[in-house]
């Protein structure tokens, strides 16, 4: 307590304390001083322009304020020598008595038409005067409003500076945009991504025992770049590093460096590193660094814009680190590493890249076990089944699924979260919200049922296809009138040629089913055809799986985590024409194969469609039972329904 009182006293005596007193505000002091000076000046040195013959108001003269009636009495008695008439005031000079004249000041009564005749009758000189005070008018009419304006501006600017990080209107400083803390997060709080945690463990060791590395002559990486898809825990991993090392964690987003004013970003970078050095050992974490680290070779309107200056300052600051003192390590996160400037990635800066990827099956199990803490789940909940259904989802998606399952149980007034709640949460995450209120006609329900049955059958009888988990004709999301949920049996990082062909066959199964069993196709297969076309095109132009382009790569995806990217056409028109013909021919061949397969499984399709129309939802196990009870086989190995004549 004594130490706290001492600190409080020091804070109160600190001249740099934000709660500045009256005398520390020069504008306020100047305004008050000006007002007081004007009042004193007007009192001691009135500037009335009276007649030169009048001694009224002159220095050393006795002054007296009287009433208007008394003034008229003095005029009638002949005791007045001169009268000065102003708009609101009358000033008169009395005759000398004992060698000293008297100045009278009277509040004028308006109108009074008897005053001038009375003065002329007594032969008293009179005149007018202006009551304006030039100095006072100038100060009160011009200087004071300007000072008041600057006072208000200074107050608002100070408030904005505090809220935006210092400097004029918040420019230049970075205190408010930096989140400085000592995280309590540990590695055990971050499930999955074991390899990523192993990569950053040596950073923790260096922050804890820097002398051991320095004595050996080793240099720890000054910057570590965390790359990976959104939601995989890059920020959480950075906090875990700081938590394990028990050091200060200064986090900031890349976009907060950029302002419309040139030079602000560079100033904020300097301020950030200065703050980090003061609290070292420390970790600086820059989230979404691609906002300021974009390659300068990409061009733009100006070659020396604000973003480029900010990047240059960041490069200079990282070069200026001195590892011999208290260490400061920079961590950064991005899901667009391909657009970063090469100067950022050279040795001595972000020379180490750690991939924080989507978790595998075991990683998803660990993440689910972490987020399930505090959630009341039923005993029959199988988290491994949930993890299997969520292949390809990131940690943030899994956390959302658990929360959504708990919300569903709460809405149903249940005391525990059951497996059905988890399954519904997974479907919401993958396919969207169930639209029970969306009414569709019986004819459309029949089309959707055949369409989804076609997808399901092709998935079960085709080599390399993902097995069916659930088939539904309940509308979900924005436009889906039904869906078939396929889940892989294991994590896949590579896809072979036959697996890509199988995916195309499954996509074409919906349209083929409509043609075989309805006799007419609908618009429901539009997205399926688009995805199938993209797969065949990628096989020929990216993966070298066709004879059209051979091993030539005709296009490429520039963003491996977000998808998409710029694709330039750098091949001949003849090759483009051959590629288009190849895509068209291959799709037609695969479609004919799917039509023949569904004709063969016609009985299973009819049974499956009738059940969907009755109960709307069937499981993957039921799909496989229906196929087997019709005497047909599902794919369980071998080359069932996967011909070898498909030379792409």
Domains of the chain: 48-132 (3.30.720.210), 179-297+304-355 (3.40.50.300), 361-431 (1.10.8.60), 442-629 (1.20.58.760)
Q: Which long-range contacts (CB under 8 A, 24 or more apart) does 67-71 make?
A: 67/106, 68/106, 68/107, 68/108, 68/109, 68/112, 70/106, 71/104, 71/106
- pLDDT tens-digit map of 286-345: 888 888 888 877 554 444 567 788 888 888 888 765 555 667 888 999 988 888 888 888
- pLDDT tens-digit map of 171-195: 444 455 567 777 888 888 788 778 8
pLDDT value, residue 10:
45
- Give the residue-averaged pLDDT of 239-259: 83
Asked if residue 102 lies in contact with residue 110, where contact means CB atoms within 8 angstroms, the answer is no
- Give the residue-averaged pLDDT of 508-534: 92
Query: Cα–Cα distance between 581 and 297 in angstroms, integer?
Result: 37
Asked if residue 623 lies in contact with residue 609, where contact means CB atoms within 8 angstroms, the answer is no
Q: Which of 76, 103, 73 is nearest to 90 (CA)?
A: 103
Q: Which of 139, 240, 234, 143 is nearest to 185 (CA)?
A: 240
Q: How confident is the model at residue 214 (pLDDT cuts 50, 70, 90)?
A: confident
pLDDT value, residue 562:
65
For residue 240, give both structure tokens. 């875990």
pLDDT value, residue 105:
85
pLDDT value, residue 428:
83
Asked if residue 240 lies in contact with residue 186, where contact means CB atoms within 8 angstroms, the answer is yes
Tell me which of 168-182, 372-386, 629-643 is least confident.
Answer: 168-182
Q: What does the DSSP 8-state code read for residue 232?
A: S
Q: What sign does the CA torsion over 395, 399, 404, 409 have?
A: positive
- The answer, yes or no, to whether residue 648 has pLDDT greater than 90, is no
Distances from the Cα of 542 to the Cα of 275, 345, 498, 539, 579, angstroms = 47, 27, 16, 6, 12
- Give the residue-averaged pLDDT of 439-458: 90
- pLDDT tens-digit map of 25-39: 555 666 666 666 655
- pLDDT tens-digit map of 497-518: 999 999 999 999 999 999 999 9
pLDDT value, residue 530:
93
For residue 282, give both structure tokens. 């420390």
- Give the residue-averaged pLDDT of 231-254: 87
Tell me which of 58-67, 128-137, 177-186, 597-606 is least confident.
Answer: 128-137
Q: Give the chain's end-to-end CA distance (angstroms, integer).
A: 80
Residue 173's φ and ψ, nearest 5 degrees, are -85, 170
Overall pTM surpassing 0.95 (yes/no): no
Question: Of all residues in the chain, what percent carry a pLDDT higher than 90?
Answer: 17
- Give the residue-averaged pLDDT of 213-223: 78
Could you tell me whether strands 102-107 and 89-94 are parallel, antiparallel, or unpaired per DSSP bridges?
antiparallel
Residue with tokens 């309805």: 518
- Give the residue-averaged pLDDT of 349-364: 85
pLDDT value, residue 33:
63
pLDDT value, residue 49:
43
- pLDDT tens-digit map of 566-612: 455 677 888 889 899 999 999 999 999 999 999 999 999 999 999 99
Note the residue count of the chain. 648
Mean pLDDT of the chain, nearest integer:
78
Query: Cα–Cα distance between 132 and 130 in angstroms, integer?
Result: 5
Point out the residues that are catalytic.
452
């Amino acid at each position: 307590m004594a130490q706290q009182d001492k600190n409080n006293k020091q804070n109160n005596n600190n001249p740099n304390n934000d709660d500045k007193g009256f005398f520390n505000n020069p504008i306020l002091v100047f305004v008050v001083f000006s007002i007081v000076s004007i009042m004193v000046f007007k009192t001691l040195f009135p500037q009335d322009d009276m007649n030169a013959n009048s001694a009224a108001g002159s220095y050393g003269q006795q002054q007296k304020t009287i009433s208007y009636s008394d003034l008229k009495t003095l005029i009638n008695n002949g005791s007045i020598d001169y009268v000065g008439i102003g708009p609101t005031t009358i000033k008169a000079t009395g005759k000398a008595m004992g060698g000293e004249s008297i100045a009278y000041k009277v509040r004028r009564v308006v109108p009074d038409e008897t005053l001038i005749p009375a003065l002329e009758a007594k032969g008293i000189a009179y005149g007018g005067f202006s009551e304006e005070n030039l100095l006072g008018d100038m100060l009160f009419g011009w200087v004071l409003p300007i000072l008041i304006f600057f006072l208000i501006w200074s107050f608002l600017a100070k408030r904005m500076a505090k809220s935006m990080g210092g400097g004029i209107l918040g420019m230049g400083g970075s205190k408010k945009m930096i989140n400085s803390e000592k995280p309590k997060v540990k590695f055990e709080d971050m499930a999955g991504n074991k390899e990523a945690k192993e990569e950053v463990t040596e950073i923790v060791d260096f922050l804890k025992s820097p002398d051991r590395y320095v004595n050996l002559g080793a240099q720890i990486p000054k910057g570590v770049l965390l790359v990976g898809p959104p939601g995989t825990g890059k920020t959480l991993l950075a906090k875990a590093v700081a938590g394990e090392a028990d050091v200060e964690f200064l986090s900031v987003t890349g976009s907060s460096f950029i302002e419309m004013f040139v030079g602000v970003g560079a100033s904020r970078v300097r301020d950030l590193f200065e703050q980090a050095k003061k609290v070292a050992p420390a970790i600086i974490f820059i989230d979404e660094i691609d906002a300021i680290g974009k390659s300068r070779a990409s061009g733009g309107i100006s070659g020396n814009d604000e973003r480029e200056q900010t990047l240059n300052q960041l490069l200079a600051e990282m070069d200026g680190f001195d590892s011999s003192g208290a260490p400061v390590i920079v961590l950064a996160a991005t899901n667009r590493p391909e657009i970063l400037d090469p100067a950022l990635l050279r040795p001595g800066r972000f020379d180490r890249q750690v991939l924080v990827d989507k978790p595998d099956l075991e990683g998803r199990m660990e993440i689910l076990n972490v987020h399930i803490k505090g959630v009341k789940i039923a005993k029959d909940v199988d988290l491994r089944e949930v993890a299997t259904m969520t292949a390809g989802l990131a940690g943030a998606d899994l956390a959302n699924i658990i929360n959504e399952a708990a919300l569903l149980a709460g809405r149903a007034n249940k005391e525990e979260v059951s497996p059905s709640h988890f399954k519904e949460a997974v479907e919401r995450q993958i396919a969207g919200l169930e639209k029970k209120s969306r009414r569709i006609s019986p004819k459309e329900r029949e089309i959707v049922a055949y369409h989804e049955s076609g997808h399901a059958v092709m998935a079960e009888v085709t080599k390399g296809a993902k097995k069916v988990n659930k088939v539904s004709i309940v509308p979900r999301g924005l436009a889906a009138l039904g869906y078939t949920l396929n889940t892989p049996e294991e994590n896949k990082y590579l896809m072979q040629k036959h697996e890509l062909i199988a995916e195309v066959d499954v996509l074409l199964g919906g349209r083929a089913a409509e043609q075989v069993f309805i006799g007419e196709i609908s618009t429901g297969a539009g997205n399926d055809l688009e995805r199938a076309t993209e797969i065949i095109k990628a096989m020929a132009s990216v993966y070298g799986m066709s004879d059209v382009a051979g091993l030539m790569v005709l296009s490429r995806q520039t963003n491996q985590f977000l998808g998409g990217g710029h694709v330039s056409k750098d091949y001949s028109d003849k090759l483009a024409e051959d590629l288009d013909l190849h895509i068209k021919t291959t799709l037609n061949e695969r479609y004919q194969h799917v039509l023949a397969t569904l004709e063969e499984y016609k009985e299973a399709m009819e049974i499956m469609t009738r059940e969907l129309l009755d109960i709307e939802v069937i499981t993957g196990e039921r799909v496989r039972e229906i196929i087997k009870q019709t005497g047909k086989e599902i794919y369980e190995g071998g080359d069932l329904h996967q011909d070898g004549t498909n030379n792409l």
